Amino acid sequence: MTQLAVTPDSVRWLVSDSLALARRNLAHVRQIPEKLIDVTVQPLMFVLLFTFVFGAVIHVPGGSYRQYLIGGILVQTLTFGMMGPAASLANDLNEGIVDRFRSLPIVRSAYLIGHVIAELATSILGIVVMTASGLIVGWRIHSSFGEAVGGFGLLLLFALAMVSIGLLLGATVRSTDSVQGVGFLVVFPLTFISNVFVPAGGLATGLRTVAEYNPVSAIAAAVRTLFGNPTAVPRDASWPLQHPVIAAVAWSLGILLVTAPLAAHRFRVRTSS
pLDDT in tens, 219-242: 999 999 999 999 999 888 999 999
pTM, two decimals, is 0.89
| pLDDT value at residue 169 | 93
Cα atoms found within 13 Å of the Cα of residue 112, Cβ hemisphere only: 24
Mean pLDDT of the chain: 87
| pLDDT value at residue 76 | 92
Mean pLDDT of 62-76: 91
Residue type, 184: F
Query: What is the distance between the alpha carbons of residues 117 and 103, in angstroms, rounded to a whole number?
Result: 23
**Which CA distances in Å does 224 have to 18, 67, 87, 184, 192?**
34, 9, 30, 25, 17
For the chain, what percent of residues have pLDDT higher than 90? 44
Where does the pLDDT of residue 3 fall: very low under 50, low under 70, confident under 90, or very high at 90 and above?
A: low
| pLDDT value at residue 25 | 76
